[in-house]
A and B are shown apart, each in its own frame.
Chain A
């Protein structure tokens, strides 16, 4: 019997709102439309000069007008990463039909993941310090160099005062933040938590990526992002923010708001890799996936789809694909596997955007395709060539990072306020 059925509604964590500023679009209508149409947001980088780099592609956020979302009072204090976060959070709150009031503001919080924070502002500050000296640095920049600044700005802009935490762990930053937020809702330390991830493209960050040979084309060939493809040759850098709203089923029912889905379980883990190396064996993935399933009270057979972490990288995609072959071996019906990174690039904290996409998939009964996949590296059930209509009961979201860190989230459908097996 499903363990979740036995849990009372105060402990069931549901997703009741989504908001995003992404290369594919801003807000769930535009994002959802392009996502399921199989659009690709990857294009030549326009905001900085890439002519001296071996890579030139990126998935940039375009047409984002911060003043449409942020009050004039706070606008000038916020940098690019804080603006994307606060705008996504505002969209998510509106989508959840949630108003911040004097009565609820102390019980609403944010737990945000970011892999690299405001690389643009930090480099600007450090540059002045190291070239001109301490007397010339701009104190106005200082508050925005700390990684918790986006969450701090967002709480000020939207006026909530509950739990406020920023988590970072490279490519699992957002998944870890979501897992923590779900635990905090279960623990009852807040009634409503905004969670997800944000990262931005900056010239410095892009250059560092190219120097670490993280970006396509790693070994020649045409530059592109091709998750799970035989011809993949590296990731394409992306940026953006995705925020989901978590609360208990009891709270959502009391507000009369229909959830997208619920978070049934979470699992975290580590494995031995070199500091900047991606995992080369499947131990960490298998272990963490099974922890998440156990935490959810489910098993591999109950999973209809996996939102994979694959980003077009040589090692990551091969290891992840092999892991799913092992995990789902022997199952009669194999889950469908998709990865969004062919459409939105690799922003490291893209788990927030991917969680938004997963919520939309549950609502619309369809899965987005793996953009850029034409020659699958293994015979898995990839969603390729276009969206796939399917009623999803249980889905897994994968977070895998270089350095050997993992976080898996198990989502369940609760269309009628009732978890399905």
Chain B
């Protein structure tokens, strides 16, 4: 498959993964938790939730930065987002057999991160200080990590990288777009290797925003359930090492799989509600299929956006039916947000890791918390626990506020250097 002027013969593979999320603080535990159907949505402890509509969320547990980040990397003025993404980066590098990182790789290695709330958690404490002490005495230096681009800066400077560096801010699709763009930077020769993914910290401002919109389920989210009442917010860092297949084989890397294609579209409909005709989501999946040169018959599992808001789940179901026709009823679809919650800017990358682990270990992760079927959401949502399955491909959806849709397709790799689950 060739798209005009673009060399898709250059295959880009994933050779390392790293994550912190509500159900695991590393990739191996994440794979186990996903298969077991663990729910990480619990009462939040990061801040007081008494005044909010909801009190639950998917918080990272027991994150002690120095347990994961060696002393050689100073933590001064790093936000929670900076620290979880940096720790996930180190795990991904170790996983890829690239830690400590050889100097020869630094020149052409870049970073692409999907961001979200960035240092807003720390900004809150600054703001409180500002109110108490006034502008003269409030420490503005606390704001130096407020913006989400700071996480990519920390990764790049911490590792001493010289390659491209960029941060995506398309809300809930940012992590997915970062993976796609990182692949393109390698394909077009602008980087030889990329650290790509997403990061989203839990913070009061974001929590308040989703509460104000009344889009949060006060209990746990129930994707595709008849009585679903909204999403559960979560936090995560999810980082992948991407490199060309030939380079990976040459250095003896162990390969998880490959990014086969991605698509980005826009609803152009409403800032917070999806287009009811689901046109943006439909075109996003179709664009990813076209980019990867695959047909609907090649897709073995759909990792849904599945936020559990009343409107998203019915719209996404409609979109899957529109794209897959009769095959929609044959392809398993699940929302792992039922386990790790909706991690916004990190979601696309975290669910990319889910997709890779599902392919590697041969299972379909379940949609947990599902109790009653919704006649409008009538696909195979894998609601009775994870399933064993030999997956060749996974299609992963990420749809966002602002009508931004991104779909990424991941593929199994079986040649030289393949990992075995």
Whether A37 is near chain B, meaning CB under 8 Å from some CB there, is: no
CB distance from A325 to the nearest CB of B (A): 21
- Please, which residues of chain B bring their CB within 8 A of the CB of A130? 124, 127-128, 131, 204
Whether A329 is near chain B, meaning CB under 8 Å from some CB there, is: no
Q: Which of B58-66, B238-246, B262-270, B407-415 contacts A (4 or more CB under 8 A)?
A: B262-270
Whether A162 is near chain B, meaning CB under 8 Å from some CB there, is: yes
Chain B stretch 143-180: residues in CB contact (< 8 A) with chain A: 143-145, 147-150, 152-154, 156-157, 160-171, 177
A106, A146, A163, A269: the one within 8 Å of B164 (CB): A269
Question: Which of under 10, 10 to 19, 20 to 34, or 35 or more describes the interface residues of A?
Answer: 35 or more
Q: Is the CB of B157 within 8 A of A272?
A: yes
Given contacts A183-B188, A268-B165, A404-B157, contact A211 B140 (CB under 8 A): yes
A142, A271, A403: the one within 8 Å of B272 (CB): A142
Assembly CA distance A280 to B289 (angstroms): 45
B52, B156, B209, B268: the one within 8 Å of A270 (CB): B156
Assembly CA distance A11 to B5 (angstroms): 6
- Please, which residues of chain B bring their CB within 8 A of the CB of A135? 51
Q: Which of A24-32, A148-156, A237-245, A307-315 contacts B (4 or more CB under 8 A)?
A: A148-156
Whether A322 is near chain B, meaning CB under 8 Å from some CB there, is: no
Assembly CA distance A397 to B154 (angstroms): 26
Q: Is the CB of B6 within 8 A of A145?
A: no
Q: Is the CB of A161 within 8 A of B149?
A: no
CB distance from B143 to the nearest CB of A (A): 6
CB distance from A13 to the nearest CB of B (A): 10
Q: Which of A121-129, A220-228, A333-341 contacts B (4 or more CB under 8 A)?
A: A121-129
- Please, which residues of chain B bring their CB within 8 A of the CB of A125? 205, 208-209
Q: Which of A167-175, A366-374, A375-383 contacts B (4 or more CB under 8 A)?
A: A167-175
Q: Which of B87-95, B279-287, B321-329 contacts A (4 or more CB under 8 A)?
A: B279-287
Q: How many residues of B contact A (CB 8 A)?
A: 79
CB distance from B341 to the nearest CB of A (A): 18
- Please, which residues of chain A bring their CB within 8 A of the CB of B46? none
Whether B105 is near chain A, meaning CB under 8 Å from some CB there, is: no
Given contacts A106-B265, A160-B266, contact A268 B5 (CB under 8 A): no
A127, A170, A187, A270: the one within 8 Å of B6 (CB): A187
A151, A161, A163: the one within 8 Å of B402 (CB): A151
Assembly CA distance A148 to B128 (angstroms): 27
Q: Is the CB of A161 within 8 A of B124?
A: no
Q: Is the CB of A134 within 8 A of B211?
A: yes
Q: Is the CB of B404 within 8 A of A165?
A: yes
In the complex, what residue of chain B is closest to A7 when comparing beta carbons?
Answer: B5
Chain B stretch 45-102: residues in CB contact (< 8 A) with chain A: 51-53, 77
Assembly CA distance A272 to B156 (angstroms): 8
Q: Is the CB of A142 within 8 A of B213?
A: yes
Assembly CA distance A267 to B185 (angstroms): 10
Given contacts A77-B271, A106-B283, A148-B400, contact A403 B188 (CB under 8 A): no
Whether A291 is near chain B, meaning CB under 8 Å from some CB there, is: yes
- Please, which residues of chain B bring their CB within 8 A of the CB of A129? 204-205, 208
In the complex, what residue of chain B is closest to A292 when comparing beta carbons?
Answer: B190
Given contacts A161-B280, A183-B184, contact A145 B404 (CB under 8 A): no
CB distance from B23 to the nearest CB of A (A): 26
Q: Is the CB of B51 within 8 A of A162?
A: no
A126, A266, A275: the one within 8 Å of B77 (CB): A275
Given contacts A165-B168, A275-B77, contact A269 B162 (CB under 8 A): yes
Whether A350 is near chain B, meaning CB under 8 Å from some CB there, is: no
Q: Is the CB of A126 within 8 A of B205?
A: yes
- A-B contacts, CB under 8 A, total: 227
Mask for A199-223, Cβ within 8 A of B = 1, else 0?
0000000011001100000000000
- Please, which residues of chain A bring their CB within 8 A of the CB of B160? 272
In the complex, what residue of chain B is closest to A146 when comparing beta carbons?
Answer: B171
Chain B stretch 192-233: residues in CB contact (< 8 A) with chain A: 204-205, 208-214
Q: Is the CB of B170 within 8 A of A166?
A: yes
In the complex, what residue of chain A is closest to B205 when comparing beta carbons?
Answer: A126
Given contacts A145-B209, A170-B149, A187-B5, contact A127 B127 (CB under 8 A): yes
A148, A159, A180: the one within 8 Å of B404 (CB): A148
In the complex, what residue of chain A is closest to B272 when comparing beta carbons?
Answer: A143
Whether B115 is near chain A, meaning CB under 8 Å from some CB there, is: yes
Assembly CA distance A165 to B110 (angstroms): 19
Given contacts A11-B4, A152-B403, A188-B3, contact A134 B208 (CB under 8 A): yes
B77, B152, B266, B283: the one within 8 Å of A169 (CB): B152
CB distance from A177 to the nearest CB of B (A): 9
Mask for A310-327, Cβ within 8 A of B = 1, else 0?
000000000000000000
Assembly CA distance A151 to B149 (angstroms): 18
Which of A122, A125, A129 gathers most chain B CB within 10 Å? Answer: A129
Given contacts A164-B404, A271-B162, contact A291 B190 (CB under 8 A): yes
CB distance from A151 to the nearest CB of B (A): 7
Q: Is the CB of A404 within 8 A of B6?
A: no
CB distance from B72 to the nearest CB of A (A): 14
Given contacts A146-B169, A186-B6, A275-B77, contact A161 B127 (CB under 8 A): no
Which of A163, A208, A295 gathers most chain B CB within 10 Å? Answer: A163
- Please, which residues of chain B bring their CB within 8 A of the CB of A365? none
Q: Is the CB of A270 within 8 A of B165?
A: yes
Assembly CA distance A270 to B112 (angstroms): 12
In the assembled complex, 28 residue pairs joining A and B whose CB atoms fall closer than 8 Å, in A order, are A7-B5, A106-B283, A117-B169, A126-B124, A126-B127, A137-B208, A139-B213, A146-B401, A148-B171, A149-B401, A152-B271, A161-B280, A161-B283, A162-B266, A164-B170, A165-B168, A165-B177, A166-B170, A168-B169, A186-B5, A187-B5, A208-B140, A212-B140, A267-B190, A268-B163, A270-B165, A275-B144, A403-B153
Closest 7 CB pairs of A and B: A152-B402, A164-B266, A268-B164, A211-B140, A147-B169, A143-B271, A11-B5
Residues of chain B touching chain A, judged by Cβ–Cβ distance below 8 Å, are: 3-6, 51-53, 77, 110-111, 115, 120, 123-124, 127-128, 131, 135, 140, 143-145, 147-150, 152-154, 156-157, 160-171, 177, 181, 184-185, 188-190, 204-205, 208-214, 263-272, 279-280, 283, 287, 291, 400-404
7 other A-B residue contacts (CB within 8 Å) besides A148-B404, A170-B149: A125-B205, A126-B120, A134-B208, A152-B271, A156-B270, A169-B149, A176-B166
